Structure 1
């Protein structure tokens, strides 16, 4: 017998990037908590626009989208010093070796497949954020504020 609790219990700003409007809605319903805010974008260009306006702790990115796909978004993020270390979880219906390898080569931090299990994804986000924050602390400790 257990009672419900929110997995994402620490402050976090998430950006969910997917061309499926239903998944964007589900992301806001299933991932947002009192401490975790979830914004959405419909493709990679929308994500870049959101990143120009706000800062985020983590992105969740589909691979196949119009205008700018997930691979292109990852490449742009990793080439910009401001977002080079931003954690990105790829969420996609693709689970073939080529997609997995290409996503990680482009800079993915983690990879999950659709259909999404929102509870499992919440834990994936929590632990990816924890690792990214620990890494940022180490970069700051060893190289100073510019590398964080």
Structure 2
């Protein structure tokens, strides 16, 4: 068995959005690494405020939150040219068909259910980040990187 290593081994700035303060604390402990900076927000309002303050590479958001929930946050991000391609992973306790369909229709990049397996989540973050960066590189090179339907 090999020793512990950080999965997030490229520089990344992640915004973790959840109304549960304990989960936000866990996110900072379990996702942060030498390369990964984790910021937290308690709901969609705080998330939008933080996004206005600085660039993030990826957002992880819950769905059920006060003020602005995850569905509305996704809609606002996808409606804004600054964030329309920002990868967003939904992390929620809901696993019903309606929530899954609604999240992806609103613009989710990926969907994971709680309770979170933090190690598995870091691999999903790494994959989504790698995919988003490859798409950005293709777009900058002038190649159409539209997803295949």
TM-score range, shorter-chain basis? over 0.9
The equivalences for 1:54-69 within 5 A come to 54-69=54-69
- Alignment correspondent of 1:119: 119
Q: Give, in angstroms, the shift of residue 142 of structure 1.
A: 1.1
Aligned residues: 143
Unaligned runs of 5+ in 2: 144-149
Specify the SS of the correspondent of 2:29.
Answer: helix
The equivalences for 1:32-43 within 5 A come to 32-43=32-43
1:90-128 CA distances to partner (integer Å, 9 max, x unpaired)? 000000000000000000000000000000000000000
Whole-Å separation in 1 of the counterparts to 2:26 and 2:136 = 30
Q: Where is the helix percentage greater, Structure 1 or Structure 2?
A: 1
Whole-Å separation in 2 of the counterparts to 1:142 and 1:22 = 43
1:104 corresponds to 2:104: yes
Unaligned runs of 5+ in 1: 144-148
Specify the SS of the correspondent of 1:14.
Answer: strand
1:15 corresponds to 2:44: no
Whole-Å separation in 1 of the counterparts to 2:139 and 2:43 = 30
Whole-Å separation in 1 of the counterparts to 2:20 and 2:107 = 23
Q: Give, in angstroms, the shift of residue 139 of structure 1.
A: 1.1
Q: Give, in angstroms, the shift of residue 140 of structure 1.
A: 1.1
1:26-63 CA distances to partner (integer Å, 9 max, x unpaired)? 00000000110000000001000000101100000000
Considering only aligned residues, what root-mean-square deviation do their CA atoms show, in Å?
0.7
Specify the SS of the correspondent of 1:142.
Answer: coil
Whole-Å separation in 2 of the counterparts to 1:61 and 1:32 = 16
- Alignment correspondent of 1:72: 72
